[in-house]
Each structure stands twice: as C-alpha cells, then as structure tokens.
Amino acid sequence: MAERLLTFSVFRYNPLTPEIPPRLQEYQLEETMGMSLFIALNRLREEQDPSLMFDFVCRAAICGSCAMLINGRPGLACKTLTQDLPEKITLMPLPVFKLVGDLSVDTGVWFRHLNVRTEAWIHTGKVFNPQIEERMDNPTAQDIYDAERCIECGCCIAGCATANMRADFMGAAFLNRIARFMIDPRDERPRARYFEVVGTDAGVFGCIGLMACDDLCPMEIPLQGQLAFVRRKMAQMALCCKCK
Ligand code: FES
C-alpha cells in the first residue's frame, strides 16, 4: 500500500468556552497499514493536540460511543478504516444529540429517555424464577436477538431527516425497541399501550421513508422492516377493533 498523507478537518467547539467560535481545525497524519479512525484520532490527540475531544470505550463496534459524521455520513470511528476514505477526511459530531465538545456528543440522555418512554422492560405478572428457563421457539428468539443488536450509537437518528427536523421524533432506534418488546411473548402489555406511545406523527407516522436509518446502521439491523412490523401490527389492531 502506497503511504498517504491524510488531512483531517476536525470540528472544534467547546460549549464551556463559547467565546471561541466553532471552527474546522486541520491536522495531518501519515497513514499506516490497517489504520482505523480510532487509531488516527488517538494518534492526533497523543502526538499533536491533547485538547481534542472524542469518545471511545470498546474499540470493537460494541459500545456505540465513537459514532460521528465521517465525510458527512454517520458511522463508527472504530469500525472505519482510513484506507476506505479519501486523503481528505472531515469529522463532525453527530447532529440531533447534545454536543459535549468537538466530536463528543451525549447520546446517553436521548437513549435513557427512549428506555423510559418505551418502558423498555418485560411487563409480566409472573414472579421471576431463576431456576426455570422461559422457553420460546427459535425464530422468535432470533427476531428478538436481531432487534437487541442495537448498540445505541445514534447513527440512525443522526442520519434521519425527520429526527433532524423535529425534536420529538422517536426515530428508528426507538421504534426498533418497541418492535423488540412486541415480538417478545413474555411481555403481557396490551397492544394498545404500545400504540399510545408510537401511533402519532412523532412515532410511526413521522417517518418519510428515506431509508437512511437502514443504510447507516453499523449493525445492519433492518430498521425499516421493524418500522413496517409496528405499522402492520397497529393496522391489524385497528381493523380488529372495527370488526367488533
Ligand atoms: S468504540 Fe465502541 S463502538 Fe466504537
């Protein structure tokens, strides 16, 4: 691989020092074999600018904390290799979420709100017995697992046109979470309870179908399929109510 000199334009702004306006700061770095953006950013911080703010925990596409706009596209820095990018790389923080500083955003508040609003736990009257395994068929377990693969990175929200336009839009991660509990046979919530939460313009009817969530999910969760599942179940319930 021919060695390249990479130029990084990195968004810089610290809300704690508002007197210094937002700007793009340029850094240069020689590319090395197998370099990820995680490695590049750490080298920039260690060798050139210790004040650079960005988030990482797992370095393995598990924690979701390193999501940022990479040349305008939401993605995980630890999963993105510089060899797949041009020599000039622009890094910006994810939109929609609260900016902590530079490339660091607070997705935690947003997702905590999601968990509270969807009541993201199994609602059951049964007393939990750790000695007895609650059995379910394999396809159902697989469907739940698919929805559970969400790492809450926020890429689907940052890339969503509706979420960028209206603050109350639940977004694909939210609707995926609802689908996860609707699939789960252990959850005894009446269907109507789900639809009270998602059956609005801020929920399933707010999506304008641009499919960015599907394209951008680093875990390749079929998010539009999950949205369609929730819409279908809602339509079925409405039809059943009409028949009565
Ligand atoms: S550091 Fe955890 S997903 Fe990138």
**Range of weakest confidence among 18-32, 85-99, 104-118, 230-244:** 230-244
Question: What is the overall mean pLDDT for the chain?
Answer: 92
Q: Please tell me if the CB atom of residue 178 comes closer than 6 angstroms to any atom of ligand 1.
A: no
**62 and 87 share one domain:** yes
**225 and 125 share one domain:** yes
Q: Which of 105, 120, 152 is the last residue of a domain?
A: 105
**57 and 69 share one domain:** yes
CA distance 171 to 183: 19
Q: pLDDT by residue (tens digit) across 177-207? A: 999 999 999 999 888 888 888 888 888 889 9
Q: Residues of the chain with pLDDT > 90: what percent?
A: 74
Q: Which residue among 37, 54, 58, 152 is best mutated to probe the pocket of ligand 1, counting the most ligand atoms within 8 A of its Cβ?
A: 58
Q: Please tell me if the CB atom of residue 82 comes closer than 6 angstroms to any atom of ligand 1.
A: no
Q: Report the atom number in ligand 1 closest to the C-alpha of 59.
A: 1
* Main-chain phi, psi angles of 185, to 5 degrees: -65, -15
**229 and 121 share one domain:** yes
Q: Please tell me if the CB atom of residue 78 comes closer than 6 angstroms to any atom of ligand 1.
A: yes
**129 and 77 share one domain:** no
**118 and 160 share one domain:** yes
Q: Provide the CATH number for the domain around residue 54.
A: 3.10.20.30
CA angle 224, 226, 230 (to 5 degrees): 115
- Report pTM: 0.90
**81 and 136 share one domain:** no
Count how many domains the chain has: 2
Q: Which of 105, 140, 171 is the last residue of a domain?
A: 105
Can you give the residue range of the structural domain that contains 216? 107-243
**111 and 221 share one domain:** yes
**93 and 113 share one domain:** no
How many angstroms separate the Cα of 197 from the Cα of each of 117, 168, 178?
8, 12, 9
Q: Which of 67, 87, 105 is the last residue of a domain?
A: 105
- Mean per-residue pLDDT, 11-36: 97
**174 and 86 share one domain:** no
Residues 6+ apart with CB under 8 A from 83: 1, 31, 34, 35
